[in-house]
Amino acid sequence: MKGTIALCLAFLAYPFVFSNAFYLDIGVALLLAAISASAWNIVGGYAGQVSVGHCMFFGVGAYLPLLVYQHWQLPPIVGVPVGIAISLVLAVLVGLPTFRLSGHYFSMATIAVAELIRLVVSTWDFAGAAIGLQGPAVGRGWYDLTFRGELPYYFIFLGVLVIVLAVTWQVQRTRFGYYLRAIKAGERAARSLGVPVRRTKLYALMLSAAFTSVAGSLYAIKTGFIDPDSGFGILVSVQMVIIAALGGAGTLYGPLVGALILIPLQTATNTWFGGGGTGLTYILYGGIIVIIARFEPGGLHEMWQRIAPKLWKRHAA
């Protein structure tokens, strides 16, 4: 509890301590990454159903606000609930057939559906095809959520992150959360003990999809621009997976820890290597993912739990 309060205070204080645009920008990117990775974590971490196509929910969430603006001049925020609704439908469409089968099917299906949607969107003129969509350049009122500075976005994102983590925490404590962990530990055993396996996995995916969609919406509203690759590109999914897995998939703060490490690292490689840095960043991502999978599938969380007691012992001696 003390840790949580300290963490909250640190995040509240951050924009006032590091008030220049560069650091504020990192803060905003970090919060967004933490939101989407925490959303992924519900199904990928707690339930152990590894989605590698979560960008489909992110993209839907990102496109809808700008679609309603582009076609009907509605404030982008109107698109957020629509995005959530479509993401939920999508979650059911992907989850229902694949959750009957082994976990590999689910992973394969997510990546294929995400790629299918990306291809359709990039040829669909209504959704801006390959060029993408733009949001309002100048806000017509507060409801357009176009702010000059980064500060309002920082606090909106922080609020959403708190909600996602609060819901995750609540999930962890309830029967639903225990079901999820039972499924992760062994599906057959869970089923034999009366856990409604398919339904539980589906609910987890839907919850995760809804939050991921919100993350996409936040991204699009803040950036004011979306195209098929920044919405539905495989790298969007990669970022969620790697951040959650690095910090510790299936733990409350794992994704946040992952974001705290990876986002500054990414900014650093991009600044050091300039434009050519993006390629190197993804080589680094691939390398980190392989190393986590090979040596530390529990992420930093488990590593810390193993190392910490030894450190204490040394101090005591």
Partner 1 sequence: MLLLQVIVGGLLLGAIYALFSSGLTLIWGMMNFINFAHGEFVMLGMYVALLVVVWLGGGPATFGFAAAVALFVLGVLVYGSLIRHVTRGPMLAQILSTFGLALLLRYTAFWIFSANIVSLPQTSLGGTLNILGILVPVAQLVAGITAAVLTVAMHLFLTGTTIGSKLLAVAEDRNAAMLMGIRPDRMQALAWGLAAASAGIAGALMAISYPWSPSVGETFGLMAFVVVTFGGFGSVPGAMYAGLIIGLIQALSAFYFGPIYKDIVVYGLFVALLWFRPQGLLGKA
Can you tell me which of 41, 98, 239, 267 binds partner 1, judged by CB under 8 A?
A: 98
Can you tell me which of 12, 13, 112, 268 binds partner 1, judged by CB under 8 A?
A: 112
For partner 1, the binding residues in 279-298 under the rule CB under 8 A are 279-280, 282-283, 285-294, 297
Q: Who's near 29: CB < 8 A, 6+ residues apart?
A: 263, 267
3-state secondary structure labels for all residues of 248-315: CCCCCCHHHHHHHHHHHHHHHHHHHHHHHHHHHHHHHHHHHHHHHHHHCCCHHHHHHHHHHHHHHHHH
For partner 1, the binding residues in 116-135 under the rule CB under 8 A are 116, 119-120, 123
Q: Which is nearer to partner 1, 294 or 314 (CB)?
A: 294
- Decide if residue 197 touches partner 1 (CB under 8 A): no
- Decide if residue 172 touches partner 1 (CB under 8 A): no
Q: Which of 301, 212, 215, 207 is nearest to 254 (CA)?
A: 301
Q: Which is nearer to partner 1, 157 or 253 (CB)?
A: 253
Name the minimum Å distance from CB 259 to partner 1.
17
Size of site (CB under 8 A) for partner 1: 47
Q: Helices 299-316 and 254-273 meet at what angle, rounded to 10? A: 100
Give the other-Cβ count within 10 Å of 24's Cβ.
18
Q: Which is nearer to partner 1, 78 or 288 (CB)?
A: 288
Can you tell me which of 10, 22, 71, 97 binds partner 1, judged by CB under 8 A?
A: 97
For residues 27 and 264, give the distance between their C-alpha atoms in angstroms, rounded to a whole number.
Answer: 9
Q: How many residues does the structure list for the chain? A: 317
Tokens read off for 194 = 């009366």
Binding pattern to partner 1, positions 25-54, x when CB under 8 A?
Answer: -------------------xx--xxx-x--
Can you tell me which of 88, 214, 249, 252 binds partner 1, judged by CB under 8 A?
A: 249
Q: Which is nearer to partner 1, 40 or 154 (CB)?
A: 40
For partner 1, the binding residues in 262-281 under the rule CB under 8 A are 279-280
Piece of 107-115, 132-140, 172-180, 206-214 that binds partner 1 (CB under 8 A): 107-115
- Is residue 248 within 8 Å of residue 257, measured between CB atoms? yes
Please calculate the CA angle 200-204-206 and round it to the nearest 5 degrees: 115
The residue type of 190 is A
For residues 183 and 199, give the distance between their C-alpha atoms in angstroms, rounded to a whole number.
Answer: 11
Can you tell me which of 151, 234, 260, 303 binds partner 1, judged by CB under 8 A?
A: 234
Name the minimum Å distance from CB 249 to partner 1.
6
Name the minimum Å distance from CB 310 to partner 1.
23
- Decide if residue 205 touches partner 1 (CB under 8 A): no
For residues 90 and 212, give the distance between their C-alpha atoms in angstroms, rounded to a whole number.
Answer: 12
For residues 235 and 215, give the distance between their C-alpha atoms in angstroms, rounded to a whole number.
Answer: 15
For residues 251 and 301, give the distance between their C-alpha atoms in angstroms, rounded to a whole number.
Answer: 8
Can you tell me which of 74, 85, 92, 108 binds partner 1, judged by CB under 8 A?
A: 108
For residues 281 and 284, give the distance between their C-alpha atoms in angstroms, rounded to a whole number.
Answer: 5
Which residues of the shown chain bind partner 1 in the complex (CB under 8 A)? 44-45, 48-50, 52, 96-98, 100-105, 107-109, 111-113, 115-116, 119-120, 123, 184, 234, 238, 241, 245, 249, 279-280, 282-283, 285-294, 297
